[in-house]
Amino acid sequence: MTRLSKATATCGALLASAALLAAVPAPAQAVAPRPAGSGDYLYLTVTRGDGASATRGALLLCDPPQGYARAADACAELDAVGGDIARLAPVKGAVCPMVYAPVTAQARGEWNGRPIEYRERFSNACVLASRTGPVFALT
């Protein structure tokens, strides 16, 4: 009986310690690190369908370009329009099917010291790609 009581007390103490550590707030740096450099960064997400069940996301940093495979192209395109995603030039000669498979593109971040908020729904992934080029090409 004594061995079981000591083991139970030890487990209880470990659980109490873990709960105490979880209740202590983490330092602000650890919770939300701010990208270093020029301040040009965007958190990009693409959600397929009508719900949030199939969402992909990436953090795009542009000094140096990093975050996903086409980050350098995306940073160059964004730099040309001052970070205004709505002003991106559509891909020339793109032909997309008339299939309704909605995708929602979102961007939040900062470009040249100014906050960026963007959200737009497209009829399908092809239309998204043809209108935003490499910016939302997260795969």
Q: Domain for residue 92, yes or no?
A: yes
Rounded CA-CA distance 46/81 in Å is 21
Q: Domain for residue 117, yes or no?
A: yes
pLDDT digit string, tens, across residues 73-89? 999 999 999 999 999 99
The per-residue pLDDT for 133 is 94
The per-residue pLDDT for 85 is 96
Domain count, the chain: 1
pLDDT digit string, tens, across residues 111-128? 999 999 999 999 999 999
The per-residue pLDDT for 104 is 95
Q: Domain for residue 139, yes or no?
A: no
Q: The domain that contains 57 carries what CATH number?
A: 3.30.350.10
Q: Please give the distance of CA 97 from its chain centroid, rounded to a whole number.
A: 27
Q: What is the DSSP letter of 62?
A: E
Q: Domain for residue 21, yes or no?
A: no
Q: Domain for residue 86, yes or no?
A: yes
Q: Domain for residue 85, yes or no?
A: yes
Q: Domain for residue 44, yes or no?
A: yes
Question: With pLDDT > 90 as the criterion, what percentage of the chain qualifies?
Answer: 60
What average pLDDT does the chain have? 78
Listing DSSP states for 63-119 in one string gives: TTEESSTTHHHHHHHHHHTTT-GGGPPPPTT---------EEEEEEEEETTEEEEEE
| Terminal C-alpha separation, the chain | 58
Q: What residues of the chain score a pLDDT lower than 50?
A: 1-36
Q: Domain for residue 11, yes or no?
A: no
Q: Which of 87, 88, 33 is nearest to 59 (CA)?
A: 33
Domain housing 104: 38-132
